[in-house]
Amino acid sequence: MKRTRTGFGTLTAVAVAVLVAGCGSERADEAGGGSTSAVTATPSEPVDFRCPGEDPAPEPESPVSSSAPAGVPTDHYAENHGFQVPFPLHGQSRCDGLALVTRVEQALEPLRKRGDFSPAHARKALMALGYGPGAVETHQGGATEVGFLVYAGVSPLLCVKGSMNRADTEADAFGGYPDHASCDRPRGGH
């Protein structure tokens, strides 16, 4: 008689499938004649709390604005470009992001007041916050506008993106993008 050996991977896959199929269901007592109903766990909502220095009733923050053209159908457009929508921050990460936004805006405010919209000067001011050359990107957004991106943290990912112009300095903090662990907006799509 010849013995054959079943692959460990196949056996493991079958065992996992059996366990998964049996998990998450309740069976009614056979004497009660009830039916089987599945119990599903609902994902918990991220918990946000008031951060130090924040107004008592914070308005919900929107992630960095999407560049979706007006009038484009949101169903397929949103589906095809969802990878470009940044992750919002929650809990302590949200507080860290708000604090960093304040620091970034304060670092750039003297430049804005002087009318200095040089990407090199904005980069220098942001690097003075303790970020290395690889963590700060700046670009000219017009004659009187500088855009910036700061890679502020790795675990969890913390990004700050914004711009400085004659009117004000605006920045938003977010947690990267769905398709890659980086602060730069992904390109491409399907």
**Above 80 in pLDDT, residue 106?**
yes
**167-187: per-residue pLDDT in tens?**
999 999 998 888 777 787 777
Q: What is the mean pLDDT of residues 112-140?
A: 95
> Beta strands of the chain (E only): which ranges?
25-26, 37-38, 136-142, 145-154, 157-165, 169-174
Spell out a b/e string for 35-60, using b for 16 or more CB atoms within 10 Å of the CB, else e: eeeeeeeeeeeeebeebeeeeeeeee
**CA atoms of 123 and 120, how far apart (whole Å):** 5
N-term to C-term CA, the chain: 55
Q: What are phi and psi of 21, to 5 degrees?
A: -65, -30
Q: What is the mean pLDDT of residues 78-98?
A: 79
**7-17: per-residue pLDDT in tens?**
333 333 333 33
Q: What does pTM read for this prediction?
A: 0.62
